[in-house]
Amino acid sequence: MKQISLFTYLITVLFLSACSGKGSTAALSTGDTIKLKYADNLTLIDYKEYKVAQLRNPWDTTKVLHTYILVDKTKPEPHNLPEGTIIRTPLSKAVVYSAVHCSLIKQLGALKGIGGVCDLKYIKLQEIHDGCRKGTIVDTGDGMNPDIEKIIDLHPDAIMLSPFENSGGYGRVEKLNIPIIECADYMETSALGRAEWMRFYGMLFGKQAQGDSIFANVEKEYLSLKKQAIKALPKPSVICDLKSGSAWYMPGGKSTTAGLYADAGGDYVFKSENHSGSVPLAFETVFDKGQNADFWLIKYNQPTNMTYRQLAKEYMPYSGFRAFKQHQVYGCNTNTVPFYEESPFHPDYLLKDLIKIFHPTLFDGYQLRYFTKLAD
């Protein structure tokens, strides 16, 4: 009878753990859960001899994507560690796949922890390019097909990359017995939720205090800006992005982009699209619903800033939008501004731009950081 009761208890605990998602590890532990206010797919627990970071699978929230056990590399590995990938911290030779995480690591004051990078051509940080030229940082090639031999020669202590649904795995790097840190921050559904992951990344590089401090400042500024935008009227309608091939990939209504537009006092035309990722739409669908939008925000990459003439030349039907006709199209040239490098972990910067665009009488004297009005 006692045996049956114990079995029932364990099944119940495991069931509750699976259903609770965020914070589920804490149900089976005596560690101190580090309170996260916004991140839904991340749980951090502090034990005396190690820390646990549990990543919830954003594509199936009843499952765990990955569990990491962070152990100080200056101390012996504790006995009886829980199941998970062991990471000896602070990282000192990590291979980092994305520009956004390189930029965050710099802000944390941990650039020396980067041993290699992928997709160097997309990274704007001069320190990274200098390191690759001097040989202190290894250029490991294309993120979709990295140079395995260079990675092996580097002997990195971790590989940081972004996971994707149904990606089929990470190829040969999975067989190298090097910890793979799945940077799923981009799957959070709020801007502050994604930014809060910097607290986890700070732990990885021995910069926990810096990560906590930077995030606290981001949160404070973001909430202050949001409070000002809520009072601003009217709420202008907005669409974004451009057609790509046969589809127009519009951010879903539950995406961080949609949330930013709402927090900036804008009325996102596709807010009712019940998706956290991008939704492929036909041009006709976008035009039908967004042709009368007050503002149109686009991102592009080219040597010079885009003009209305170029935009119409790219696809003539663009000129039928009201925002085009009334010259209310704002462009972000990612070739010249660090939009992708900064905004994921500094949504306060982007929010201020959006508020200024939607409510130009606010923030007197403020110059837009990322966007500019398209020229004729």
Q: Do 206 and 236 share a domain, yes or no?
A: no
Q: Which of 100, 23, 42 is nearest to 347 (CA)?
A: 100
- Tell me the pLDDT tens digit for each residue of 181-216: 999 999 998 999 999 999 999 999 999 999 999 999
As a whole number, the mean pLDDT across the chain is: 91
* Domain termination residue (choose one: 154, 185, 217): 217
- Domain membership of residue 28 (yes or no) is yes
For 100, counting Cβ atoms within 10 Å of its Cβ (0-12 exposed, 13-18 middle, 19+ buried), the class is: buried
- Distance, CA of 63 to CA of 17 (rounded, Å): 10
* Domain termination residue (choose one: 217, 244, 279): 217
Q: Do 245 and 142 share a domain, yes or no?
A: no
- Domain membership of residue 287 (yes or no) is yes
Contact predicate 292/322, CB 8 Å: yes
* Domain termination residue (choose one: 217, 251, 271): 217
Looking at residue 376, what is its pLDDT? Answer: 86
Looking at residue 8, what is its pLDDT? Answer: 38
Q: Do 211 and 238 share a domain, yes or no?
A: no
pLDDT band, very low/low/confident/very high, at 3 (cuts 50, 70, 90):
very low
Asked whether the predicted pLDDT for residue 2 surpasses 80, the reply is no
Asked whether the predicted pLDDT for residue 16 surpasses 80, the reply is no
Overall average pLDDT of the 13-26 stretch: 38
Q: Which of 144, 220, 245, 198 is nearest to 342 (CA)?
A: 198
122-128-133 Cα angle (round to 5) = 105
Q: Do 203 and 244 share a domain, yes or no?
A: no
Q: Do 191 and 292 share a domain, yes or no?
A: no
Overall average pLDDT of the 274-283 stretch: 90
Overall average pLDDT of the 308-334 stretch: 97
- Domain membership of residue 226 (yes or no) is no
Number of Cβ within a 10 Å radius of residue 72:
15
Overall average pLDDT of the 125-137 stretch: 97
Q: Which of 72, 23, 26, 30 is nearest to 49 (CA)?
A: 72
Q: Which of 58, 102, 105, 57 is nearest to 204 (CA)?
A: 105
Looking at residue 110, what is its pLDDT? Answer: 98
- Tell me the pLDDT tens digit for each residue of 159-181: 999 998 877 789 899 999 999 99
Q: Do 281 and 178 share a domain, yes or no?
A: no
Looking at the chain, the number of H-run helices and the number of E-run strands are: 13, 20
pLDDT band, very low/low/confident/very high, at 93 (cuts 50, 70, 90):
very high
Q: Which of 256, 287, 283 is nearest to 269 (CA)?
A: 287
Q: Which DSSP state fits 158?
A: E
- Distance, CA of 187 to CA of 254 (rounded, Å): 11
Looking at residue 220, what is its pLDDT? Answer: 98
Q: Do 241 and 348 share a domain, yes or no?
A: yes
| Residue 160 in tokens | 């940081």
Q: Do 188 and 99 share a domain, yes or no?
A: yes
Q: H or E element: which one contains 194?
A: helix 191-195
- Domain membership of residue 224 (yes or no) is no
Q: Do 184 and 238 share a domain, yes or no?
A: no
pLDDT, greater one: 360 or 165: 360
- Domain membership of residue 76 (yes or no) is yes
- Tell me the pLDDT tens digit for each residue of 34-71: 999 999 999 999 999 999 999 999 999 999 999 999 99
Q: Do 273 and 184 share a domain, yes or no?
A: no
Q: Which domain holds residue 156?
A: 2-217
Provide the domain count of the chain: 2
Asked whether the predicted pLDDT for residue 108 surpasses 70, the reply is yes
Overall average pLDDT of the 239-255 stretch: 95
For 81, counting Cβ atoms within 10 Å of its Cβ (0-12 exposed, 13-18 middle, 19+ buried), the class is: middle
Overall average pLDDT of the 364-370 stretch: 97
- Domain membership of residue 303 (yes or no) is yes
- Domain membership of residue 273 (yes or no) is yes
pLDDT band, very low/low/confident/very high, at 251 (cuts 50, 70, 90):
very high
228-211-222 Cα angle (round to 5) = 5
| Residue 49 in tokens | 């001899």
- Domain membership of residue 223 (yes or no) is no
Asked whether the predicted pLDDT for residue 355 surpasses 60, the reply is yes
Would you call 20 helix, strand, or coil by DSSP? Answer: helix
Q: Do 50 and 27 share a domain, yes or no?
A: yes
Q: Do 188 and 251 share a domain, yes or no?
A: no
Query: Helix, strand, coil % (nearest 5) of the chain?
Result: 40, 20, 40
- What percent of the chain shows pLDDT beyond 90? 86
Looking at residue 346, what is its pLDDT? Answer: 98
Q: What is the CATH number of the domain that holds 114?
A: 3.40.50.1980
Q: 321 φ, ψ to 5°?
A: -75, 145
- Distance, CA of 259 to CA of 257 (rounded, Å): 5
Asked whether the predicted pLDDT for residue 294 surpasses 50, the reply is yes
- What percent of the chain shows pLDDT beyond 70? 92
Asked whether the predicted pLDDT for residue 365 surpasses 80, the reply is yes
- Tell me the pLDDT tens digit for each residue of 211-231: 999 999 999 999 999 999 999
